[in-house]
């Protein structure tokens, strides 16, 4: 970000008549708090049966079901097929979306169908690359759940096929397209928080479900679960229902808390500040409580270094996930700058501009004689520091979505389907997806190798 992107230039821009002046009606009246409603309009024209997008779901688990339910809220979308390796989920699909659905336990049969325009890939992470590439080669538009890849090299393979085929491919970090992110991006570009110096992200959980101890259905057996297909090209192991239904807990199939949670933070952060990502990561943590056979930590902390670019100075990012937080659940995503801070979520963006504290207090003045104290105070008064520095006003602006807002995931699918119809580009293509996933995976590499690791955010390769 350029040197002019300071609190003073931000305020000057507002007072001169920018597009967001109306958001700060009390700007010059001292300390203030205000709430502003965010809004978004959608081009939701009616579609005939011939114009609808035929959709298929590959991986009918938790995220897959959520994704389809949201996708079907949009007009002109029809779910025609579902694939999963557990028969019970195929039965559930018909309960949810109709008995006329085509169902299969082999995703390749889905990709061979010519009546399918787009697929949602919501499988375990170790299948993302293979199915995404095959789907693009078969002419399908792809919505692939995050993280896009399980390891660094896979991303470049996806990007190569994406560029060669010209496919539509959206990576599904759903917060990306939210109104909260959009407002944060606008405010950051306008210099609302000055120069970014720290990103603070955390996610606390306090439940077995939150720690991925998902229930195992009583009808699960070798007859209803195709375990051999599930493990794919990973290490061959005996039939194990915990590995199938709680796959996030194993390095062979998932990406740990970093791939599941940190990737959301990187997707939003890189979008808001127009960055390609960090250059260095240092991770620590451990398996402190959920010792149920998993081989990934339940507590992970990672520090990242971002290099200076055209859109930001060098800064640091601190990320933390705690799956046994005795204080209860919760989370936060906060961009902290030299002139203010933004607390960002899918549904809101809070801009905070505190009093900077330029005038010395008795804490630092107490060591001087009263005569010297008086002279120091007079010097500050003569310079009119507080009078002329509008940045010293305590202010808080909360941008919130309206009650009828359809949600960040809806926005992300809207962006995806508009791109399929040739009315725009996806907001999170495979290159963006690799930069987010790659940054998250650095935490795993650093944790397991017990050392800092370096990354080139431009080439998206380890250094």
CATH of the domain at 360: 3.30.360.10
What is the rounded distance in angstroms from the CA atom of residue 319 to the CA atom of residue 305?
12
What is the rounded distance in angstroms from the CA atom of residue 58 to the CA atom of residue 56?
7
Do 195 and 108 share a domain, yes or no? no
What is the rounded distance in angstroms from the CA atom of residue 211 to the CA atom of residue 385?
51
pLDDT given at position 390: 44
Is residue 102 within 8 Å of 161, Cβ to Cβ? no
Burial of 373: CB neighbours in 10 Å, binned 0-12, 13-18, 19+: middle
Is the residue at 84 inside a domain? yes
Residues in the chain, overall count? 463
Is the residue at 321 inside a domain? yes
Reported pTM: 0.92
Count of alpha carbons within 13 angstroms of residue 437, beta-carbon side: 29
Cis omega (within 30 of 0) for bond into 137: no
pLDDT given at position 17: 39
Do 394 and 356 share a domain, yes or no? yes
DSSP result, 331-386 = EEEEEEESS-EEEE-SSEEEEEE-----S--HHHHTTS-HHHHHHHHHHHHHTTHH
Q: Which of 175, 204, 232 is the last residue of a domain?
A: 175
Do 98 and 14 share a domain, yes or no? no
Closest CA to 268 of 333, 362, 330, 320: 333
Do 260 and 273 share a domain, yes or no? yes
What is the rounded distance in angstroms from the CA atom of residue 412 to the CA atom of residue 62?
18
**E strand segments, 59-209:** 77-83, 102-104, 118-121, 141-145, 169-172, 196-204
Q: What is the span of the domain harbouring residue 443? A: 7-33+177-213+256-404+430-462
> How many domains, in total, are found in the chain?
2
Is residue 176 within 8 Å of 437, Cβ to Cβ? no
Place of tokens 């114009």: 51
What is the rounded distance in angstroms from the CA atom of residue 334 to the CA atom of residue 51?
42
Q: Is beta strand 395-400 parallel, antiparallel or unpaired with respect to 453-456?
A: unpaired
Phi, psi at residue 25, to the nearest 5°?
-70, -20
Is the residue at 278 inside a domain? yes
Q: How far apart are the first and last CA of the chain?
A: 26
Is the residue at 423 inside a domain? no
Q: Can you name the residues that pair with 332 across neighbouring β-strands?
A: 202
What is the rounded distance in angstroms from the CA atom of residue 192 to the CA atom of residue 213?
42
pLDDT given at position 20: 41
Q: What is the crossing angle of helices 62-71 and 87-97, to 10°?
A: 20
pLDDT given at position 18: 38
What is the rounded distance in angstroms from the CA atom of residue 80 to the CA atom of residue 103?
9
Sequence-distant (≥ 6) Cβ neighbours of residue 136 within 8 angstroms: 142, 161, 162, 165, 167, 169
Do 309 and 325 share a domain, yes or no? yes
Do 181 and 142 share a domain, yes or no? no
What is the rounded distance in angstroms from the CA atom of residue 61 to the CA atom of residue 376?
67
- Residue 448's CB: how many other CB atoms inside 10 A? 14
Do 29 and 118 share a domain, yes or no? no
Closest CA to 241 of 251, 256, 226: 226
Alpha helices in 30-112 (DSSP H): 62-71, 87-97, 107-112
pLDDT given at position 26: 41
Render each residue's pLDDT in the chain as its tens digit; 463 residues: 554 455 556 655 554 433 343 344 444 445 778 999 999 988 877 888 788 999 999 999 999 999 999 999 999 999 999 999 999 999 999 999 999 999 999 999 999 999 999 999 999 999 999 999 999 999 999 999 999 999 999 999 999 999 999 999 999 998 899 999 999 999 999 999 999 999 999 999 999 999 999 999 999 999 999 999 999 999 999 999 999 999 999 999 999 999 999 999 999 999 999 999 999 999 999 999 999 999 999 999 999 999 999 999 999 999 999 999 999 999 999 999 999 999 999 999 999 998 887 888 899 999 999 999 999 988 888 776 655 554 457 889 999 999 999 999 999 999 999 999 999 999 999 999 999 999 999 999 999 999 999 999 999 999 9
What is the rounded distance in angstroms from the CA atom of residue 263 to the CA atom of residue 257?
9
What is the rounded distance in angstroms from the CA atom of residue 78 to the CA atom of residue 56?
9
Do 14 and 139 share a domain, yes or no? no
What is the rounded distance in angstroms from the CA atom of residue 277 to the CA atom of residue 153?
17
Is the residue at 125 inside a domain? yes
Do 347 and 450 share a domain, yes or no? yes
CA-based Rg of the chain, rounded to a whole angstrom? 25
Is the residue at 335 inside a domain? yes
Sequence-distant (≥ 6) Cβ neighbours of residue 426 within 8 angstroms: 168, 169, 170, 415, 416, 419
Do 160 and 208 share a domain, yes or no? no
Burial of 82: CB neighbours in 10 Å, binned 0-12, 13-18, 19+: buried
Do 280 and 339 share a domain, yes or no? yes
């Amino acid at each position: 970000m350029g040197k002019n992107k300071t609190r003073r230039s931000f305020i000057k821009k507002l007072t001169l008549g920018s597009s967001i002046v109306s958001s700060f009606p009390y700007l010059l009246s001292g300390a203030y708090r205000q709430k502003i409603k965010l809004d978004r309009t959608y081009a939701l024209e009616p579609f005939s049966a011939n114009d609808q997008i035929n959709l298929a779901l590959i991986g009918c688990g938790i995220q897959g079901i959520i994704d389809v339910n949201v996708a079907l809220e949009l007009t002109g979308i029809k779910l025609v097929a579902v694939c999963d390796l557990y028969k019970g989920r195929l039965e559930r699909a018909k309960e949810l979306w109709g008995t006329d659905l085509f169902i299969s336990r082999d995703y390749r049969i889905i990709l061979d169908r010519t009546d399918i325009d787009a697929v949602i890939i919501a499988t375990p992470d170790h299948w993302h690359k293979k199915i995404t590439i095959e789907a693009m080669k078969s002419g399908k538009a792809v919505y692939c759940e995050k993280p896009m890849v399980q390891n660094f090299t896979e991303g470049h393979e996806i990007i190569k096929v994406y560029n060669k085929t010209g496919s539509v491919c959206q990576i599904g970090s759903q917060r990306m397209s939210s109104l909260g992110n959009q407002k944060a991006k606008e405010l950051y570009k306008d210099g609302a928080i000055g120069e970014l110096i720290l990103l603070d992200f955390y996610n606390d959980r306090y439940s077995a479900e939150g720690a991925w101890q998902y229930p195992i259905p009583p009808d699960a057996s070798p007859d209803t679960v195709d375990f051999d297909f599930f493990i794919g090209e990973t290490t061959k192991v005996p039939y194990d229902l915990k590995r199938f239904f709680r796959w996030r807990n194993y390095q062979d199939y998932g990406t740990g808390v970093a791939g599941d949670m940190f990737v959301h933070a990187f997707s939003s952060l890189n979008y808001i500040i127009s960055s390609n990502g960090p250059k260095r990561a240092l991770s620590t943590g451990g398996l402190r409580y959920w010792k149920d056979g998993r081989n990934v930590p339940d507590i992970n902390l990672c520090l990242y270094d971002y290099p200076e670019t055209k859109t930001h100075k060098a800064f640091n990012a601190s990320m933390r996930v705690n799956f046994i937080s005795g204080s209860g659940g919760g989370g936060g995503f906060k961009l902290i700058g030299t002139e203010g801070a933004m607390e960002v979520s899918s549904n809101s963006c809070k801009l905070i501009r505190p009093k900077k504290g330029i005038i010395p207090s008795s804490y630092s003045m107490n060591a001087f004689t009263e005569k010297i104290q008086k002279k120091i105070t007079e010097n500050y008064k003569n310079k009119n520091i507080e009078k002329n520095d509008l940045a010293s006003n305590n202010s808080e602006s909360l941008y919130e979505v309206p009650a009828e807002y359809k949600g960040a995931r809806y926005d992300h699918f809207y962006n995806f389907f508009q791109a399929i119809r040739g009315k725009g580009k996806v907001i999170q293509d495979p290159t963006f997806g690799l930069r987010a996933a790659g940054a998250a995976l650095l935490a795993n590499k650093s944790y397991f190798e017990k050392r800092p690791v370096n990354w080139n955010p431009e080439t998206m390769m380890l250094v």
